[in-house]
Amino acid sequence: MKTRLFFTLTSIFAGIGAATMGRDMTLPEVAAVSVLIFAAPSYLALVRILGIRKGVLVLAVLGLFAITIESIALATGLPYGEFTYTGGLGTPLPGGVPWTVAFAWPPLLIGSYAASGFIGTKNRLRIPLAILLLVAADLVLDPGAVGMGYWSYASGGIWYNVPLSNYGGWILSGIIGVLLLRLTAGALPPKKNLTASYLYSVSFWTGVSATFGFWVPFLCGLLLTALLLPLRLVRW
């Protein structure tokens, strides 16, 4: 518990430090490495549970889906709303989406789905709970990322310059993502380390929210952290 709490607090203060430095001092290479570090715990846990071949297949499918739906969104504005990336997250792929998206979104989905198995005792509740946790994470993440200058929405939005359409898009992409996860991974058990990347990512963006004075997202992040941290006590 002490180790897990240490990494959680470290993520919060890393977020504070990154936001304090500002976008101009946050190199794309640093952001890319950070994405990979946050993704690693859940990726390794998934491969351990499913095996290398199946685990890599699941991650590849989810990563490809993340890139695909983001590319569609950049071209059409659907389903998230019209937005643009600024180049702070690494080299863009042909569709204009930074390659890091393939590693940033899947761990949030995997963590949400794993955590839903701890919270919901009935299997039919897992998908709606997973979507709820996924969208809740973005309530913290998106305002901070906009504040850091990683992307921006053409018309802004009422949630700290994020439009409500973005969250409708996360619901849609989350539903499709969970279905893809179930199709490729089967009945993925709620193992504790699958939630790690979600926890550390939310903690990081909670720190960013504190720096920008985004107090409602900050409180959302604290609540999610308080919810997820005890789940990490469950043994393999």
Tell me, what's the pLDDT at 17?
Answer: 77
Q: What residues have CB less than 8 Å from 195, skipping those under 6 apart? A: 42, 111, 114, 115, 118, 228, 231, 232
- Give the domain range for residue 147: 27-231
Tell me, what's the pLDDT at 120?
Answer: 62
pTM of the model: 0.93
Tell me, what's the pLDDT at 164?
Answer: 97
Strand locations in 100-160 (E): 151-153
Burial 172-191 (b: 16+ CB within 10 A, else e): ebbeebbebbeebbeebebb
Residue 143 forms part of a structural domain: yes
- How far apart CA 34 and CA 88 sit, in angstroms, is 12
Tell me, what's the pLDDT at 14?
Answer: 79
Residue 82 forms part of a structural domain: yes
Residue 19 forms part of a structural domain: no
CB 105, CB 178: distance < 8 Å: no
Residue 1 forms part of a structural domain: no
**Which residues of the chain are under the pLDDT cut of 70?**
1-3, 21-27, 120-122, 192, 232-236
Residue 134 forms part of a structural domain: yes
The rounded Cα 200 to chain-centroid distance in angstroms is: 10
- Token readout for 67 is 């890139």
Count of domains for the chain? 1
Residue 13 forms part of a structural domain: no
Residue 59 forms part of a structural domain: yes
